[in-house]
Amino acid sequence: MSDVSFDAAAAVSAPRTRRRARLPVPVVLALGWLALMLLVAVAADLLSPFPYTALDLRNRLSPPVGMGGAWLHALGTDELGRDVLSRLITSIRMSLLIAFGATAISAVLGVTLGFLAAHFRGLVEQAVLALVDFQAAMPFLILALAVLAFFGNSLPLFICLLGLNGWERYARIARGLAVSAGSQGYAAAVKGLGASPWRVYGRHVLPNIASTLIVSMTLAFPEIILLESGLSFLGLGVQPPMTSLGNMVGYGREYLTRAPWILLAPSSVIVLTTLSVSLVGDWLRDRLDPTLR
């Protein structure tokens, strides 16, 4: 059974494979960078030369290799002699963890609300749409700051809070596609066979809109990274002794004149990562789903 369907799938994607051979160079570079980041995040403990909180008081503010520094601390150290490379590796893991967690939360939340709106219509739909308008109308940074002011900060709360960013886009997409699938077509047909809503949405609608959702998640990912690093930079996100990319930049700002490397290393990682995800997202959108924007 599997071999035949595999052949069928291969036959369908055959014309695509030919185009995939000519992957644009920037996309290849972006994918390479993202693979490296994922590897760093997963293997952070193996890769970092020092514990990220370890002090080396004899080598405080030592510059990185290339600016007169030694290989012992390849990216230099900070005011307390903590190894910038080790801190960077730990920060990458933390920032990616937050970004993945928040993206997953906002996708699940948005899709659920979108499906609820599409399924119940009427008042439920109006309520969801009012929430969508509200969310779209408010700058999220301000809302996030307000919540942090009222509730204080902790890592799980922070991830959930960032997970509230951008759910309205998934909700719009899920509602729109579910409504059109439900009014005519496969979803209506399956419903007519007596399927429960769980089956209709879980087994049929969700897999059919998955590619659109994945593309939107890719496009939203850089936003979450920027938001996290922005809040952490302001000192309102990830709290010490934990560290994230934005956190490092915020700390390094104090040493802008004396030790710019503390700030430049995490800054370049943020920029390269968001740039890579954006490039891959744009490419995916053009390939998989030209209907988005």
Partner 1 sequence: MSVNDEPLLHAQDLVRRYAMRRGMFGRPAEVRAVDGVSLTLRRGQTLGLVGESGCGKSTTGRMVLGLEVPDSGGVAFANERMPAPGTPAWRRLRARMAMVYQDPLGALDRRLDIGTQVAEPLEIHGIGTRADRPVRVTALLRSVGLRPDHARSFPHELSGGQRQRAVLARALATSPDLLVCDEPISALDVSIQAQVMNLLAEVQARTGVAMLFISHDLRAVRQMSHRVAVMYLGRVVEEGEPDDVLHAPAHPYAQALVSAIPHPGRRGGRIVLKGDPPNPAARPPGCAFHPRCALAAALCAREVPVLKPRASDRRLVACHVAQGEVAPGAGLPQPAMEAA
Partner 2 sequence: MLRFLGLRLARALLTLVLVVTFAFVVLRLSGDPALLILSADAPPEAVAAFRQAWGLNDPIWQQYLRYFAAIFRGDLGQSMRDGRPAVELVAERIPATLALTLPALLMKLGIGIPAGIYAALHRNSFADRAVMLLAVAGFTVPSFVLGLVLVLVFAVQLGWLPSGGQENWRHAVLPVLTLGIGGAAVLARFTRSAMLEVLGQPYMRTALAKGVPWARAVRRHGLPNAAIPTVTIVGFMVGSLLAGAVVVESVFSWPGVGRLLVVAVANRDLAVVQCILLLVATTMVSANLVVDLLYGVLDPRLRAAPREATA
Which residues bind to partner 1, rule: CB under 8 A? 1, 4-5, 8, 12, 184-186, 188-196, 199, 204, 207-208
What is d(CA 94, CA 198) in angstroms, rounded to the nearest whole number? 35
Burial tier of 115 (Cβ tally within 10 Å: 0-12, 13-18, 19+): buried
SS3 at position 77: strand
When the beta carbons of 139 and 156 are compared against partner 2, the nearer one is 139
| DSSP summary character for residue 19 | H
Residue pair 172/107 in contact (Cβ under 8 Å)? The answer is no
We find the least distance from the C-beta atom of residue 237 to partner 2, in angstroms, to be 11
CB within 8 A of 13, min separation 6: which ones?
A: none
We find the least distance from the C-beta atom of residue 73 to partner 2, in angstroms, to be 21
* Among partner 1, partner 2, none, residue 222 binds (CB under 5-8 Å by kind): partner 2
Chain residues binding partner 2 by CB under 8 A are 129-131, 133-134, 137-139, 141-143, 145-152, 172, 176, 222, 226, 229-230, 233-236, 246, 249-250, 253, 256-257, 260, 263, 267, 270-271, 274-275, 278-279, 293
When the beta carbons of 6 and 151 are compared against partner 2, the nearer one is 151
When the beta carbons of 84 and 111 are compared against partner 1, the nearer one is 111
* Among partner 2, partner 1, none, residue 1 binds (CB under 5-8 Å by kind): partner 1
When the beta carbons of 10 and 138 are compared against partner 2, the nearer one is 138
Cα 165–275–45 angle (5° rounding)? Answer: 80
| Cis amide linkage into residue 197, ω under 30° from 0 | no
Q: Token pair 């700030």 is at which residue?
A: 263
CB within 8 A of 261, min separation 6: which ones?
A: 63, 64, 67, 75, 76, 84
We find the least distance from the C-beta atom of residue 56 to partner 2, in angstroms, to be 25
We find the least distance from the C-beta atom of residue 110 to partner 1, in angstroms, to be 21
What is d(CA 210, CA 229) in angstroms, rounded to the nearest whole number? 28
* Among partner 2, partner 1, none, residue 257 binds (CB under 5-8 Å by kind): partner 2
We find the least distance from the C-beta atom of residue 215 to partner 1, in angstroms, to be 16
